[in-house]
């Protein structure tokens, strides 16, 4: 398949991968899940998980993708292990699942871009959020966000994905740094900072069985791991990149954006006397809206902020869609445009429950990060560690500089530590979902 597309440059690949990683997971999900899991303790576990578990798992996906140069399902066939293609199948299903509610949240963001310009939420930010989060308007904006995603993916790897992300990554860093610097000067900000930055070990001792799976799940969600995005993106690579360095850069940049979002969200919540755990999935929308309402140039700041978040969300959403489209284009030689539109319609339908109920959306989100992504990652890691083994090390060593010598250490890390952790948190994650489900049953 000589006509397969490739990235125009190494930077293009890194930015696209960062573009996939950095998104609503950092700006919307990270603050709200941090608040639900005790604050700073969660941050610590999350960072450890990103570096010690996420990065090695990312390299496992890179090795398969670059070696095979195929979509998530055929990749396993190409390297000689067709049955492991079920990983790809699970990846496609997870992509549908996540995109369905991700696009609802993306729709909220579009709505907030407009509402910032008009000052629509300035009067009562909380009531405004409750009013737009679910219902007919949410359905409409969900459709709009999906339409944009489909449009970019239809344009293809180089013109669409690569271009969109080159602008987004620098922009989001600049805007978040600006907001964080301003946020910490507010009165009450200090409490927010200590909530976010100074861990309380008792919190961990009491709740580690929910904190740890939530943190590892957040690391995988945020790094776009466990559903084949990184297999797909690495499949468009040339042979001579240093994948370990690329992976390290992606993890650092992604963590930086998450921390910055926390530095913005928590001082703001505390300066408004909002109890962080109570804010739920609307945390970032309500807290920032309240802040923008009180700022001199609030409308402008709001438009810029939500505009940047929108681009970040789009560059993640296109990676979710690209996994599915890439498969259909490789396998059935159908056009990008037609495939993207068809998938878009299905995702729209699957998103309707989330667009009409905030509880459903939160449940979909929790199942994605606690079950689907850890399950996918467990399978990839088991395959790469124990089945593909040395061949994966060889692939990573292609183009690797001095870090290449760490190959065998990486392999054992993947085989033992990463795999055992993933299996453990998968079990805890399933238990957590069953407990939530039992609660719902009891209440209903």
Q: Minimum Å distance from CB 414 to ligand PHE?
A: 20
Q: Minimum Å distance from CB 254 to ligand PHE?
A: 8
Give the integer Cα–Cα distance in Å for 220 and 254: 11
Q: Which of the 8 DSSP states describes residue 396?
A: H
Pick 26 or 100: Cβ nearer ligand PHE:
26
What is the maximal distance between C-alpha atoms in the chain? 61
Q: Which residue has the tokens 């690391």?
A: 219
Pick 41 or 225: Cβ nearer ligand PHE:
225
Q: What 3-state DSSP class applies to 132?
A: helix
Pick 258 or 407: Cβ nearer ligand PHE:
258
Q: Which residue has the tokens 């271009």?
A: 163
Pick 287 or 319: Cβ nearer ligand PHE:
319
Pick 17 or 411: Cβ nearer ligand PHE:
17
Q: Minimum Å distance from CB 324 to ligand PHE?
A: 12
CA contacts within 13 A on the Cβ side of 327: 24
Pick 12 or 23: Cβ nearer ligand PHE:
23
Nearest residue to ligand PHE, using CB? 25
Q: Minimum Å distance from CB 92 to ligand PHE?
A: 12
**Contacts of residue 112, Cβ cutoff 8 Å, sequence gap at least 6:** 121, 285, 289, 302, 306
Q: What 3-state DSSP class applies to 237?
A: coil
Q: Minimum Å distance from CB 323 to ligand PHE?
A: 8
Yes or no: say if 199 and 48 are a contact pair by the CB < 8 Å rule: no
Give the integer Cα–Cα distance in Å for 212 and 266: 21
Pick 57 or 274: Cβ nearer ligand PHE:
57
Measure the CA angle with vertex 424, ends 358 and 374; round to 5°. 50
State the residues that interact with ligand PHE by CB under 6 A. Answer: 20-21, 23-26, 98, 221-222, 224, 227, 229, 316, 319-320
Give the integer Cα–Cα distance in Å for 164 and 206: 43
Q: Minimum Å distance from CB 314 to ligand PHE?
A: 10
Q: Minimum Å distance from CB 158 to ligand PHE?
A: 20
Yes or no: say if 397 and 407 are a contact pair by the CB < 8 Å rule: yes
């Amino acid at each position: 398949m000589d006509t397969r597309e490739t990235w125009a440059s190494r930077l293009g690949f890194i930015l696209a991968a960062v573009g996939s990683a950095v998104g609503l997971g950092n700006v919307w999900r990270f603050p709200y899940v941090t608040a639900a899991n005790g604050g700073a303790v969660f941050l610590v576990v999350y960072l450890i998980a990103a570096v010690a578990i996420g990065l090695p798992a990312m390299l496992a996906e890179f090795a398969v993708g670059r070696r095979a140069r195929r979509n998530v399902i055929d990749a396993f066939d190409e390297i000689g292990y067709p049955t492991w293609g079920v990983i790809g199948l699970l990846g496609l299903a997870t992509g549908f699942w996540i995109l369905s509610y991700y696009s609802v949240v993306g729709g909220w963001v579009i709505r907030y871009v407009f509402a910032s310009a008009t000052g629509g939420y300035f009067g009562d930010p909380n009531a405004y959020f409750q009013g737009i989060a679910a219902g007919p308007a949410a359905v409409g904006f969900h459709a709009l966000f999906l339409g944009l995603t489909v449009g970019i993916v239809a344009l293809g790897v180089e013109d669409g994905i690569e271009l969109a992300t080159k602008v987004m990554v620098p922009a989001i860093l600049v805007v978040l740094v600006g907001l964080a610097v301003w946020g910490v000067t507010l009165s009450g900000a200090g409490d927010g900072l200590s909530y976010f930055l100074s861990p309380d070990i008792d919190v961990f001792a009491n709740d580690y069985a929910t904190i740890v799976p939530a943190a590892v799940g957040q690391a995988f969600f945020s790094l776009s791991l466990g559903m084949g995005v990184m297999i797909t993106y690495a499949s468009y690579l040339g042979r001579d990149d240093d994948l370990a360095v690329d992976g390290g850069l992606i993890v650092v940049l992604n963590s930086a954006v998450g921390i910055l979002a926390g530095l913005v969200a928590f001082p703001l919540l505390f300066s408004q006397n909002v109890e962080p755990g109570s804010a739920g999935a609307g945390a970032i929308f309500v807290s920032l809206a309240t802040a923008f309402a009180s700022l001199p140039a609030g409308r402008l700041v709001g438009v810029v902020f939500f505009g940047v978040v929108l681009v970040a969300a789009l560059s993640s959403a296109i990676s979710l869609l690209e996994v599915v489209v890439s498969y259909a284009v490789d396998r059935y030689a159908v056009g990008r445009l037609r495939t993207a539109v068809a998938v878009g319609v299905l995702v729209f339908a699957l998103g309707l429950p989330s667009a009409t109920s905030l509880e459903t959306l939160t449940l979909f989100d929790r199942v994605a990060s606690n079950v689907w992504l850890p399950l996918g990652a467990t399978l990839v890691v088991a395959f790469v560690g124990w089945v593909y083994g040395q061949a994966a090390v060889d692939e990573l060593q292609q183009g690797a500089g001095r870090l290449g010598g760490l190959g065998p250490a990486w392999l054992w890390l993947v085989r033992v530590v990463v795999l055992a952790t993933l299996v453990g948190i998968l079990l805890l994650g399933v238990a957590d979902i069953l407990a939530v489900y039992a609660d719902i049953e009891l209440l209903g």
